[in-house]
Structure 1
Amino acid sequence: MRRAFIRTALVSLACLAGFAHAEAAGRRHVAPPDRAEERIVPMYGDLPGCTDPAVLSELTSWFNSRESTYWGPLQALSYDRIAQIGYRPWGDDMIPRRFCTARLMLNNGVYHRVDYSVRENLGLFGMTWNVNWCVAGLDRELSYAPDCKMARP
């Protein structure tokens, strides 16, 4: 009886230590059956990087299309100061996302910050990754207000 109590106490302490470690890292503790990799349709987090030409090309294409259709003559020309600001920040059971930020130069010569995320299985028919983005100062419908904060982790 006493051994069972000690064993239970040790297991409880080990679990609490694991939760404390996850909390300190800013992530929730996830039991193995709930991880995204172990779902019926698994998600592995194999996402292209922030500087990947395919990611920047998709971002440019969507931005240029939106601007020419709705708002006017602005077009994306180039990116610099590209940096990753988060990878799966909400834990292993959420859809894998890579959060990035960069400086975008437009055809009017003005630089804007662009915050974007590469998200797994949210592309066409859930077969591939896609990009979600917000350009600071050009979020005219305030979808990610204030100042694109909601596009960041």
Structure 2
Amino acid sequence: MMAAAVAVLAVLAVAAPHARAASLLEKNFWLSGPNYSGIVPACDEREALNLISMRFSETERMYWNSNLAITGLDKISEIAFRPWGPEYQPRRYCSARVYTNDNKQRAIYYSIIEDGGLIGASWGVEWCIVGLDRNYAYAPSCKMARP
């Protein structure tokens, strides 16, 4: 019985279609890759800063049972734009000083990403506030939020 099973497997392995390389048409048809424009808002774009403030407060309330909120930002500066070259997804890396309603000031590092919004329909943001990276997503000290 075992010999019959091995023989059937051997026949199936020989009869199976072999893998082949993609043809010229398969490699080039509709596979143009992402076509980024490189148009990313500036670091001081009010809409991006408001989005960070809103989402920060929401995250603090929902996940950390905290009423902490951003009350202001200053010393906004760009760290880098497309630091790894034009073939990568365009990102503008920024830093600023953030004020929170617990009367503390902290450093914030954020990036504005082309096609990083909801289903890639617009730009999006990622951020980390030093000392408030509670799940250590950008640890240590928000280093992973920088280029």
TM range (shorter): 0.7 to 0.9
Q: Distance in 2 between matches of 1:122 and 1:142?
A: 21
The aligned counterpart of 1:90 is 84
What is residue 27 of structure 1 aligned with on the other side? none
After TM superposition, the structure 1 = structure 2 runs for residues 43-122 of structure 1, keeping only pairs within 5 Å, are 43-71=36-64, 72-122=66-116
Number of aligned residue pairs: 115
Letter in 1 for 2:102: N
CA root-mean-square deviation: 0.9
SS in 2 for 1:125: helix
Distance 1:45 1:58 in 2: 20
TM-score normalized by structure 1? 0.73
Determine the structure 1 residue equivalent to 2:19. none
Cα offsets for 1:19-70 (capped at 9, x unmatched): xxxxxxxxxxxxxxxxxxxx54411111110001011011111101001112
- Any unmatched runs of 5+ in structure 1? 1-38
What CA distance in whole angstroms lies between the structure 2 residues aligned with 1:49 and 1:77?
A: 20
Identity rate of aligned residues, in percent?
Answer: 40
* Displacement after TM superposition at 1:103 (Å): 0.5
Structure with the higher fraction of residues in helix conformation? 1
Distance 1:40 1:148 in 2: 31
| Superposition misfits of 4+ residues, deviation over 4 angstroms | none
Q: Specify the SS of the correspondent of 1:118.
A: strand
Following superposition, the deviation at residue 85 of structure 1 comes to 0.3
